[in-house]
Amino acid sequence: MDYLKEYKSFISSHYLSDGVRITFGIAIPSIVLSYFDHLSAGIIVSVGAMCVSIADSPGPIHHRRNGMNICNLIVFIVSLIIGFAAHNAILLGALIFISCFVFSMIGVYGSRATSVGVSALLVMVLNIDRKNQGWEIVINSLYILAGGTWYTVLSLLLYSFRPYKLAQQALGDCIQSTADYLRTKAFFYGKKPDYEKNYQQLLDQQIAVHEKQNLVRELLFKSRDVVKESTNIGRILVMIFLDIVDLFEVVMTSHQDYKALHDFFGDDEILQKYQGILFTIAGELDDVGIAIKSGKKSEASSALRAQIKELQEYFIRFRDKERTAENVEGFISLRQILESIRDITDRLYTLHTYTSYDESSAKNFSKDLDYDKFITHQDIDGKLLIDNLSLKSNIFRHSLRVSIATIIGYIISKFFPFGHSYWILLTIIVILKPAYSLTKRRNYERLTGTIAGAALGLIILYFVKNTDVLFIIMMLFMIATYSFLRTKYLISVLFMTPYILLLFHFLNPNDFKTVFNDRLIDTAIGSGIAFLANIFIVPAWEHEQIAGFMINMLQDNRKYFTDIAGIFSGKNISVDQYKLSRKNAFVSLANLSDTFNRMMNEPKNKQKNIQLLHQFVVSNHMLTSHIATLAYYAKPMEKERSLSDYSSFINATVAHINNAQAILEHKPMLPETTINKEALRTLNEKVMLLTDQRKKELNEGINESDLRKQLSILKPVADQFNFIIKIATDLEKLSVGIEDENELA
C-alpha cells in the first residue's frame, strides 16, 4: 500500500470536504450563540443543522437542495408533534411506533428519501426527553428549523463557489476504484494464484466500481449545467467519465482462461512481467484520479511507455524462442492481453491530457449521446408506497422491524431510566438495516467503536486538562466522524464517541461519569435489541430474493451479448444501444454480487445453495467479461467477418440463456432440438483447420505468414464465442441444479 497516495486521495476526497462542511455547519451556531450566552439555544440550532446534514448526501445539486428543504419541513413538524406528545408516555410510544414505520417506509423512494427519514427519526429521538411547555415547544422547533435552514444555505453557498468540485472528486474516486479493479485482476498473473479468492475480490471490487460509476452518472447526467449548458470543465468531465467506463470495459477484456495460461507459461517469468505492468498502470490511474480530485494536472510517466516497449520486445523474444505447435494457442492469448494493455495505456495517456482542462481537449465532445437513458429517475408516486405495503416487500418488513424494535427499546428505557436513555432508541435506529448482513456488521462496528472510542475519550480527559486543546481535539474528532460516516462506520464511531464525551464534558463536567456509563450501557442494550430484532422480527433473508437478481442478470447479459454479437451479424448497433446494454449488464452484475455477499454473512442455515449460487455469480462475471472482450474485436472484425459463421453461435447462446431464465422463472424450457449443435461446429472446424496449418508452418520453421495474420484475427473471436456459449450452457445447468436443490429443501 502506498500510504502517501492514500493520504493524498483522502485529503482531496469529497468525504473530507463533507466532514469539514458538516462539522462547521453544526458547530458554528453553538459557538456563536454561546458567545452571546445562549449556549442551550445554540445546541438546539446545531441539532437542526445535524439533522439536515444527513439529507445532504452527494448527488445533483437540485436533488440535494430539494432533499434539504423537504427535510427542514419534516424535521420541524416532527419536533413540534413530539414536543406536544412528550408528556404522555402512551401517546409518545404510539407516535414513536408510527413515525418509525412511516419514515422507514419512505425508503422506497431511494437513498435520499431514506436519509430524510433517518433525519426525522433522529430529531424525534432527541426530543423525547425534553419536557417543554406551550410556546417553549414552538420555540424549540423554530430553533431546529433555523439550524436546518442555516446548514442548507451554507451547503448551497459552498456549492455555488465550486460547482464542479463534487463531480471532480467523485470522478477521481471512480478512476481509483477502476485502478483497484485492474490491480485485483493482476493477481491472476502471479505465481500459484488463489483463483477462488481472486474471483471473490474481483466481485467485491466490481460492486465498488458500480457504486462510484453510478454516483458520477447522477452528478454529471442529471445536472443541467453539465450536459445541457456545457462549459469546458463540464464537457471534459463527461469525456473523462465516458473514457473511464470504456477503459473499465477494456480491463474486463483482459479476462482469460488463467489456469490454461499458467499451464502453458507458469514456469516462466512472462506472466509476472504482465502482472508488473498491470500494477504500474493501476498506479498511473491512481495518479490521474488524485489529480482530478485535487484539480491539478497530472503528468504522464515516460517510464510506462518504456516498460510497454520492453514488454513487447520481451514477448517477441520469448515467443520466437519458446513457441511450439503445442503452445501456439497460449501465445495468441498473450498477444491479445498485450494488445489490451496497449489499448489501456493509450486511454490512460488521454486521461492525463484531460486533467489540464485545455479547451482543445473538449473539441471532440459529442452531444449526440442520449444521457437521459443512462440514469434512473425516481418519481414520487403514491402507488409505489401502496404496492410495498405487503410482507413480500423487504422495505415493509424492515419498517415493521424498526417500529417494533424501537417501541421495545422505548419500554425498556422506561423501566431502566438512565440519564440519557434516548441512546437506546438512537442505537436501534442507526444499527437496523434492511439486510441481515448489513445490520450484523453495523452492530459489530457500533459496539466495537463505542468501547474503543470511550477508552480513547477517557485517556484524553485524563492527560489533557487545557480547555482550548480539548476543544481543538473535539473539532478534529467531529471532522473525522463525519468524514468516515459514509465509508468506514467503525472509524466514524471510534471518533464519534470521544467527541460526544468531550461535548458533554464541556456542558457538564461533573456529570461526565454518568454520561460515560449511560453511553456504554444504552449502546449495549440498543445493540442487543437490534440483533434480536434482525433475527426474529419478520426477517428478510437473501435467498428469498436472490432469484430476481439472477433473472435480471441473465436478461441484461443476454441483451449485452446480442447487441455485441449483432455487430458480427451485420446489424447496425447504435452507440447509445451498445453503451446502455453494457451499463445495465455491469449494474446487474454488481447487484447480484452484492446480494450474494450479503447472503454469505447470514447464518449458515439461511445460506441456501451457496456453492451453486457462487458458481452462478462467478460464471456471470466471466460471461460479462468475455462479452466485453468480444466487443473489443467487433470493429476490427467488420471487414474480415463471415456473417454466416456466427449466427449459429449467437442463436445457440441465446437459447441456453433463455433456458436458464425459464428454469428460474418456472417456465418450460426450449426443446433440445431447437439448438443447432451441428451448425456450432462450422466456425470451430475452420479455426482448427487454420490452427493445424499454422502448426505445420511452425514445424517447418515458418514464423511469419498470411496464415498467421488470418489466424490471429479469427481465433480470438472464435475463442470468445466458444467461451460464451460454454458459460451459457453452464448457467443453464446451474439453474437446473439450483431449482432441484430448492425443491428438495
Pair (562, 487) in one structural domain: no
Terminal Cα distance for the chain, rounded: 45
- Residue 683 has a pLDDT of 66
Residues 399 and 327 in one domain: no
Q: Quick one: 205 and 248 in the same domain?
A: yes
Contacts made by residues 9-14, CB under 8 angstroms, sequence distance 24+: 9/172, 9/176, 9/286, 9/289, 9/290, 9/293, 12/169, 12/172, 12/290, 12/293, 12/294, 13/169, 13/172, 13/173, 13/293, 14/58, 14/165, 14/166, 14/169, 14/170, 14/173, 14/293
The confidence score (pLDDT) of residue 259 equals: 85
In a domain, residue 117? The reply is yes
Tell me what pLDDT residue 414 has. Answer: 81
Reading the block at residue 683, the C-alpha cell is: 466456425
Check residue 529 and give its pLDDT: 93
Alpha helices in 295-431 (DSSP H): 302-322, 328-354, 382-387, 394-415, 422-431
Is there a domain that residue 74 lies in?
A: yes
Name the average pLDDT for the chain. Answer: 86
3 state SS for 645-696: HHHHHHHHHHHHHHHHHHHHCCCCCCCHHHCCHHHHHHHHHHHHHHHHHHHH
- 405-414, 450-459, 475-484, 697-706: lowest mean pLDDT where? 697-706
Distance of alpha carbon 275 from alpha carbon 277, whole angstroms: 6
Quick check: 169 pLDDT over 60?
yes
CB 170 within 8 A of CB 58: yes
379 assigned to some structural domain: no
User: Can you give the residue range of the structural domain that contains 430?
Assistant: 384-530
Q: Is residue 319 part of a domain?
A: yes
Number of structural domains in the chain: 4
Do 300 and 431 lie in one domain? The reply is no
**Judgement on whether residues 322 and 342 belong to the same structural domain of the protein:** yes
Q: Given 318, 339, 374, which residue is the final one in a domain?
A: 374
Are the CB atoms for 280 and 343 separated by under 8 Å? no
- Specify if 633 maps to a domain: yes
Is 132 in the same domain as 36? yes
The angle, 0 to 180 degrees and rounded to 10, between the axes of the packed helices 706-744 and 546-568 is 160
**pLDDT at site 68:** 96
- What's 686's domain CATH number? 1.20.58
Judged by average pLDDT, the poorest of 26-30, 192-196, 356-360, 640-644 is: 640-644
Band (pLDDT 50/70/90 cuts) for residue 512 is: low
- Helix or strand run (H / E) with residue 193: none
Q: Using one digit for the tens of pLDDT, what is the confidence trace for 618-642?
A: 999 999 988 988 887 776 555 554 4
* The pLDDT value given to residue 377: 67
* pLDDT tens-digit readout, 101-132: 999 999 999 889 999 999 999 999 988 877 77
- CA-to-CA distance for 284 and 179, rounded, in angstroms? 8
Query: What DSSP element (H or E) covers 726?
Result: helix 706-744
CA distance 738 to 745: 11
pLDDT at residue number 634: 75
Torsion of CA 578, 584, 589, 591, to 10 degrees: 170
| Residues 721, 726, 729: CA angle, nearest 5 degrees | 125
**Cell numbers that stand for 64 in this block:** 440535494
Same domain, 174 and 94: no
Please compute the mean of the pLDDT values over residues 244-261 and round it to a whole number. Answer: 82
- Residues 123, 236: one domain? no
The answer on pLDDT for 733 being more than 60 is yes
Predicted local distance difference test score (pLDDT) of residue 643: 42
For residue 15, is it within any domain?
A: yes
Indicate the pLDDT class of residue 742, thresholds 50, 70 and 90: confident
d(CA 581, CA 157): 38
Q: Which helix (H) or strand (E) holds 739?
A: helix 706-744
Tens of pLDDT, residue by residue over 334-371, are 888 888 888 899 899 999 999 988 877 766 666 666 66
DSSP per-residue string spanning 400-434 = HHHHHHHHHHHHHHHHS--TTTHHHHHHHHHH--S
Which pLDDT belongs to residue 358?
A: 82
Q: Which residues contact 341 (CB under 8 A, 6 or more apart)?
A: 254, 274, 277, 278, 281, 308, 311
Domain check: are 74 and 181 in the same one?
no
Structural domain contains residue 535: no
CA distance 182 to 200: 14
Mean pLDDT throughout 701-710?
Answer: 67
Residue 703: count of CB within 10 angstroms of its CB: 10
Same domain, 575 and 681: yes
Contacts by residues 285-288 (CB-CB < 8 Å, ≥ 24 positions apart): 285/175, 285/176, 285/178, 285/179, 285/182, 285/348, 285/351, 286/2, 286/5, 286/9, 286/175, 286/176, 286/179, 287/5, 288/172, 288/175, 288/348, 288/351, 288/352, 288/355
* Band of residue 674 on the pLDDT scale cut at 50, 70, 90: low
- Class of residue 610 by CB neighbours under 10 A (exposed 0-12, middle 13-18, buried 19+): middle
The residue from 110, 143, 161 where one domain ends is 161
For residues 15 and 487, is the Cβ–Cβ distance under 8 A?
Answer: yes
- Identify whether residues 646 and 679 lie together within a single domain: yes
Q: How many CB atoms lie under 10 A from the CB of residue 471?
A: 15
Condensed to tens digits (0 to 9), the pLDDT of residues 35-89 reads: 898 988 999 999 999 999 999 999 889 899 999 999 999 999 999 999 999 888 8
Minimal CA–CA distance to 177: which of 199, 207, 208?
Answer: 208
Which residues, at least 6 apart from 626, have a Cβ–Cβ distance to it below 8 Å? 255, 720, 723, 724, 727
Listed as own residue / partner, the contacts of 383-388 with beta carbons closer than 8 Å and 24 or more positions apart are 384/108, 384/109, 385/105, 385/106, 385/108, 385/109, 388/105, 388/108
Residue 605 in grid coordinates: 442455515
Instruction: Show which of 161, 192, 220 is a domain's final residue.
Output: 161
Whole-Å CA distances, 438 to 212, 525, 530: 19, 19, 12
Closest CA to 592 of 490, 731, 722: 731
A 10 A CB-CB count for 157 gives 9
Taking 50 as the threshold, does the pLDDT of residue 177 lie above it? Answer: yes
| Contact present, 5 and 290 (Cβ < 8 Å) | yes
Rounded to whole angstroms, the Cα distance separating 336 from 348 reads 18
From residue 325, alpha-carbon distances to 330, 600, 698, 719 in Å are 10, 45, 7, 18
Note the pLDDT tens digit of each residue in 642-671.
Answer: 444 677 778 888 989 999 999 999 888 766
Q: How far is CA 339 from CA 14, 251, 303, 383, 469, in A?
A: 35, 11, 18, 51, 58
Give the pLDDT score at 496.
93
The answer to whether residue 537 is domain-embedded is: no
User: Are 49 and 69 members of one domain?
Assistant: yes
Residue 380, φ and ψ in degrees, nearest 5: -85, 85
Q: Widest CA span of the chain, in angstroms?
A: 101
